[in-house]
């Protein structure tokens, strides 16, 4: 038997999803007795509200596949079957360069979408992002002016021009500003005795310094680099009592005081935080009796000093993350080695943040900032704002080599001008009170964003024509809605013609179904209800809810995993698990996430395995570890990069012969006279070539993820 055509396979898969594994029709098997319930069963289900439809047939038959309803006699005009839709409202093309007004620069497309979704239905769309060349940069330098930073301040007084020149390699439109911090000027963070120490905290060490302050804004963002240098030269250090500083207070004020700082709406915002100490965080203010939480608002007085330093607590990491995102700011921690690990942990929790090691006198600050900025610009990561709880989003990233990475919403190793795309699936998982909601998808640190308005199509149009106390419902004993009677409490029957307590043995057959063709009937109301007027009234249960035409449905008889219903990752609906967005499988025990399979290099299972249910299954012999990152028998970096040196530099070898060199080797070759250590993570390699000469090179990845091979010009020979 030949292979099935692709189109037929797809149709079979769709049909299987609608009918279920056992062949039952999902629309008629979930006990839907109203139009709204029917729409929630499956996106393929339709409801017939035609009054004379299915005379003598149970009301649940009104919920079925659209084709079945039409075949059964329902006119197309009597069908309630809304469809999900996606409409692109705004779709400007991506810009190449930041020429002209910044508001005309577009780095994400599309810009505005409208989506209409039925329950459990999904729509997929593509988001493209490009970091344009020459984009304006606002750089605000926030410096710790505690006494231990005295030599750093001396060095910074001469670095303004050099910093500006280094940044002009990235942008021709740079503005720089300056601010400083120490800590809250209140005990126990400051010296209060003797009295002279309040005016001069350096009194006890026989020198003079400024009175302690929390945060002061010194210079608004300006294109005049000379002003930056002048203002820094005027600064003096202060001295505080305890080791941690109040830098987080300063970060919040520098982020939210947009007018005072001068942040431009159409520019990249860099906040450089330099310190050699730990920092206080939320709740540390209680040491000084400060219990009022930080409100994340601007509190600079007429002298540009933080006015709430002694009355408001330090901010939390969550608040800093929120304000960085809200104001499109990339934070760079330039800190000394003793506190590097701490700030790396902070960076892991704050998207769009980079960390660099500051030398003891800040002599390397220019290289540090440039490298950190290149690292930030080499990555595009999407963040979400205001996503409704009832909407689940899943992402697939397509980065540089066209490889689709499931579950990822970021790309790294990019150059300015590279375009990446993300396939996004939006699925309705419920019905919120507000029918229409808007949320945002945006790259971290960008002003550009995609605005999406989603309409949840949970109600039926025929509900708007409902007739309360309708004569069609046995003298007004119910509301006539969407072709059926919704009976008042205490009334039953298709037309509300019966009262609870009525008993008619001849109608018992309508409350049970056959167990098989020609077989005996099943228990009345599945043994979980009473038959009243030919209708099942389901018993309540301590385990959960029971419903359905024959009380055949409940929310507690589903597959379990480790004792938990639907593995604790979904809800039970009439015998089937409806999984939460990040889970799949019959019992929802299989994770859809792939970020748990990402190695430190950003490769799925280190390129040596497959991500199955959120865990790596290593396929390359010898590979092991949580991300298949350990592999003693795998080719090492030197072995792999040796082939690129051979084909790109010497024009020989296997990759050169089969014409795959340019596709596989993206490395830059740099010829050198001798190998010097360019970075602590650089790898020195040696191999013997086909002429028995010893070739030496160094493999190094820069901050942007770019691979560089430093190759010795003249090979050595073996004796």
pLDDT band, residue 12 (cuts 50/70/90): very low
Mean pLDDT for the stretch of residues 469-488: 93
- Centre a 10 Å sphere on the Cβ of residue 71 and count the other Cβ atoms it contains: 10
Mean pLDDT for the stretch of residues 262-272: 93
117 close to 456: Cβ distance less than 8 angstroms: yes
Q: How are the residues of the chain apportioned to helix, strand and coil, as percentages rounded to the nearest 5?
A: 25, 30, 45
Task: Say what the pLDDT of residue 157 is.
Answer: 82
Is pLDDT at 464 greater than 90 in this prediction? yes
Q: Please state the three-class secondary structure of 274-335 as a single string.
A: EECCCECCCCHHHHHCCCCCCCCCCCECCCCEECCCCCCCCCCHHHHHHHHHHCCEEEEEEE
Mean pLDDT for the stretch of residues 680-699: 83
- The first and second tokens of residue 712, run together, are 């010795």
The reply to whether 233 and 369 lie within a common domain is yes
CATH code at position 684: 4.10.1240.30
Strand pairing category for 108-109 and 122-130: antiparallel
Rounded to whole angstroms, the Cα distance separating 373 from 48 reads: 60
Task: Say what the pLDDT of residue 500 is.
Answer: 73
pLDDT tens per residue across span 301-335: 999 999 999 999 999 999 999 999 999 999 999 99
The reply to whether 215 and 360 lie within a common domain is yes
Looking at the domain assignment, is residue 475 inside a domain? no
The reply to whether 223 and 263 lie within a common domain is yes
> Which H helix or E strand runs over 661?
helix 661-664
**Better-predicted residue by pLDDT, 677 or 552:** 552
DSSP-based three-state secondary structure for 686: strand
CATH code at position 408: 2.60.40.1510
| Alpha-carbon dihedral angle through residues 371, 373, 374, 375, given to the nearest 10 degrees | 90
> Domain ends where: 377, 403, 435?
377
Looking at the domain assignment, is residue 537 inside a domain? no
Mean pLDDT for the stretch of residues 508-537: 74
The reply to whether 68 and 206 lie within a common domain is no
- HSE, side-chain direction, 13 A CA sphere, residue 335: 24
> Domain ends where: 350, 377, 404?
377
pLDDT band, residue 129 (cuts 50/70/90): very high
The reply to whether 331 and 188 lie within a common domain is yes
The reply to whether 23 and 112 lie within a common domain is no
Task: Say what the pLDDT of residue 84 is.
Answer: 95
pLDDT band, residue 22 (cuts 50/70/90): very low
Is pLDDT at 655 greater than 70 in this prediction? yes
Is pLDDT at 479 greater than 70 in this prediction? yes
**Better-predicted residue by pLDDT, 533 or 702:** 533
pLDDT band, residue 235 (cuts 50/70/90): very high
CATH code at position 217: 3.40.50.410
Mean pLDDT for the stretch of residues 531-536: 80
Count the domains in the chain: 5
The reply to whether 412 and 364 lie within a common domain is no
The reply to whether 196 and 311 lie within a common domain is yes
pLDDT band, residue 508 (cuts 50/70/90): confident
- Tokens 């035609």 label which residue? 50
Is pLDDT at 473 greater than 50 in this prediction? yes
Q: DSSP readout, 571-637?
A: EEETTEEEE-TTEESTTS-EE---GGGB-TTS-BGGGSEEEETTEEEE-STT-BSTTS-B-TTS--H
pTM for this entry:
0.72
Task: Say what the pLDDT of residue 656 is.
Answer: 83
The reply to whether 570 and 688 lie within a common domain is no
Is pLDDT at 2 greater than 60 in this prediction? no
CA dihedral sign, ordered 472, 474, 476, 479: negative
The reply to whether 321 and 337 lie within a common domain is yes
Is pLDDT at 101 greater than 80 in this prediction? no
pLDDT tens per residue across span 702-714: 644 567 889 988 7
273 close to 238: Cβ distance less than 8 angstroms: no
The reply to whether 446 and 369 lie within a common domain is no
Looking at the domain assignment, is residue 185 inside a domain? yes
> Domain ends where: 456, 481, 506?
456
Mean pLDDT for the stretch of residues 361-382: 86
Task: Say what the pLDDT of residue 44 is.
Answer: 93
pLDDT band, residue 24 (cuts 50/70/90): low
Looking at the domain assignment, is residue 340 inside a domain? yes
Is pLDDT at 99 greater than 70 in this prediction? no
Looking at the domain assignment, is residue 62 inside a domain? yes
Mean pLDDT for the stretch of residues 245-267: 96
**Better-predicted residue by pLDDT, 495 or 48:** 48
Mean pLDDT for the stretch of residues 607-630: 86
Looking at the domain assignment, is residue 479 inside a domain? no
Alpha-carbon Rg for the chain in angstroms: 34
Task: Say what the pLDDT of residue 444 is.
Answer: 92
Looking at the domain assignment, is residue 497 inside a domain? no
**Better-predicted residue by pLDDT, 492 or 247:** 247
**Better-predicted residue by pLDDT, 480 or 225:** 480
Mean pLDDT for the stretch of residues 117-144: 93
pLDDT band, residue 191 (cuts 50/70/90): very high
**Better-predicted residue by pLDDT, 700 or 220:** 220
Q: Per DSSP, what are the bridge partners of residue 709?
A: 669, 699
Mean pLDDT for the stretch of residues 284-297: 96
Classify residue 175 by burial, with Cβ atoms within 10 Å: 0-12, 13-18, 19+: buried
Is pLDDT at 100 greater than 60 in this prediction? no
Chain-wide mean pLDDT for the chain? 86
CATH code at position 572: 2.10.25.10
Q: Kindly list the distances between the CA atom of residue 347 and the CA atoms of 257, 259, 321, 555, in Å, as whole numbers in the listed order.
A: 22, 26, 10, 43
Is pLDDT at 121 greater than 80 in this prediction? yes
Task: Say what the pLDDT of residue 466 is.
Answer: 94
Q: Assign residue 110 a region (left: φ > 0; alpha: ψ between -120 and 50; beta: otherwise).
A: beta
The reply to whether 349 and 207 lie within a common domain is yes
- The first and second tokens of residue 101, run together, are 């007004």
Rounded to whole angstroms, the Cα distance separating 708 from 159 reads: 29
Looking at the domain assignment, is residue 659 inside a domain? yes
Mean pLDDT for the stretch of residues 557-567: 90
CATH code at position 40: 3.30.1680.10
279 close to 260: Cβ distance less than 8 angstroms: no
27 close to 13: Cβ distance less than 8 angstroms: no
Q: Which of 450-464, 583-597, 620-634 has the highest mean pLDDT?
A: 450-464
**Better-predicted residue by pLDDT, 224 or 595:** 224
The range of the structural domain enclosing residue 4 comes to 1-82
Task: Say what the pLDDT of residue 367 is.
Answer: 87
């Amino acid at each position: 038997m030949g292979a099935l055509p692709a189109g037929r396979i797809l149709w079979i898969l769709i049909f299987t999803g609608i009918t279920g594994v056992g062949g039952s029709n999902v629309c008629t098997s979930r006990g839907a007795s109203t139009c709204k319930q029917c729409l929630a069963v499956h996106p393929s289900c339709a409801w017939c509200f035609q009054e004379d439809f299915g005379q003598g047939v149970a009301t649940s038959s009104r919920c079925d596949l659209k084709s079945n309803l039409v075949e059964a006699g329902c006119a197309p005009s009597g069908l309630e079957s809304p469809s999900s839709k996606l409409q692109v409202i705004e779709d400007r093309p991506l810009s190449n360069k930041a020429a002209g007004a910044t508001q005309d620069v577009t780095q994400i497309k599309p810009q505005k979408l409208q989506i209409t979704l039925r329950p459990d239905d999904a729509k997929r769309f593509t988001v493209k992002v490009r970091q344009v060349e020459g984009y304006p940069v606002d750089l605000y330098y926030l410096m710790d002016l505690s006494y231990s930073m005295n030599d750093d301040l001396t060095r910074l007084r001469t670095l303004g021009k050099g910093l500006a020149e280094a940044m002009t390699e990235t942008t021709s439109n740079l503005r720089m500003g300056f601010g400083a911090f120490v800590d809250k000027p209140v005990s126990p963070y400051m010296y209060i005795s003797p009295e002279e120490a309040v005016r001069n905290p350096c009194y006890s060490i026989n020198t003079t310094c400024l009175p302690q302050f929390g945060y002061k804004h010194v210079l608004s963002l300006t294109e005049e680099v000379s002003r930056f240098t002048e203002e820094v030269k005027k600064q003096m250090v202060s001295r505080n009592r305890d080791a941690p500083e109040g830098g987080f207070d300063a970060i919040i004020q520098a982020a939210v005081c947009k007018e005072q700082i001068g942040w431009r709406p159409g520019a990249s915002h860099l906040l450089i935080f330099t310190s050699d100490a730990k920092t206080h965080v939320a709740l540390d203010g209680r040491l000084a009796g400060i219990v009022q939480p930080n409100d994340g608002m601007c509190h600079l007085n007429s002298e540009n000093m933080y006015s709430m330093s002694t009355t408001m607590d330090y901010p939390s990491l969550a608040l800093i993350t929120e304000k960085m995102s809200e104001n499109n700011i990339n934070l760079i921690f330039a800190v000394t080695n003793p506190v590097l690990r701490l700030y790396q942990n902070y960076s892991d929790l704050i998207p769009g943040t980079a960390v660099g090691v500051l030398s003891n006198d800040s002599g390397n600050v220019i290289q540090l900032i440039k490298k950190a900025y290149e690292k930030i610009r080499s990555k595009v990561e999407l963040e979400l704002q205001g996503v409704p709880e009832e909407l689940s989003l899943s992402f697939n990233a397509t980065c540089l080599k066209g490889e689709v990475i499931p579950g990822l919403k970021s790309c790294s190793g990019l150059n300015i001008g590279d375009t990446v795309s993300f396939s996004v699936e939006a699925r309705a998982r419920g019905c919120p009170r507000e029918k229409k909601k808007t949320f945002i998808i945006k790259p971290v640190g960008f002003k550009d964003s995609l605005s999406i308005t989603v309409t949840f199509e949970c109600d039926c149009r025929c509900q708007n024509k409902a007739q309360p106390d309708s004569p069609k419902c046995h003298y007004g004993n119910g509301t006539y809605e969407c072709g059926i009677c919704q009976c008042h409490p205490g009334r039953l029957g298709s037309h509300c013609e019966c009262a609870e307590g009525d008993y008619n043995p001849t109608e018992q057959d309508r409350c049970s179904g056959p167990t098989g063709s020609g077989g005996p009937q099943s228990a009345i109301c599945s043994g979980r209800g009473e038959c009243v007027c030919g209708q099942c009234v389901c018993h309540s249960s301590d385990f959960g809810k029971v419903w359905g035409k024959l009380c055949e449905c409940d929310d507690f008889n589903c597959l379990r995993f480790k004792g938990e219903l639907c593995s604790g990752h979904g809800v039970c609906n009439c015998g089937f698990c409806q999984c939460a967005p990040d889970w799949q499988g019959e019992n929802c025990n299989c994770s859809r996430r792939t970020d748990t399979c990402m190695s430190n290099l950003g490769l799925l299972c280190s390129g040596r395995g497959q991500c199955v249910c959120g865990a790596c299954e290593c396929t390359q012999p010898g590979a092991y570890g949580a991300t298949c990152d350990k592999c003693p028998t795998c080719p090492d970096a030197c072995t792999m990069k040796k082939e690129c040196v051979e084909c790109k530099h010497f024009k020989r070898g296997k990759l050169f012969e089969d014409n795959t060199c340019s596709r596989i080797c993206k490395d830059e070759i740099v010829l050198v006279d001798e190998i010097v250590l360019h970075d602590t993570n650089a790898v020195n390699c040696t191999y013997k070539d086909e002429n028995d000469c010893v070739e030496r090179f160094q493999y190094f990845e820069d901050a942007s993820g770019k691979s560089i091979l430093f190759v010795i010009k003249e090979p050595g020979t073996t004796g």
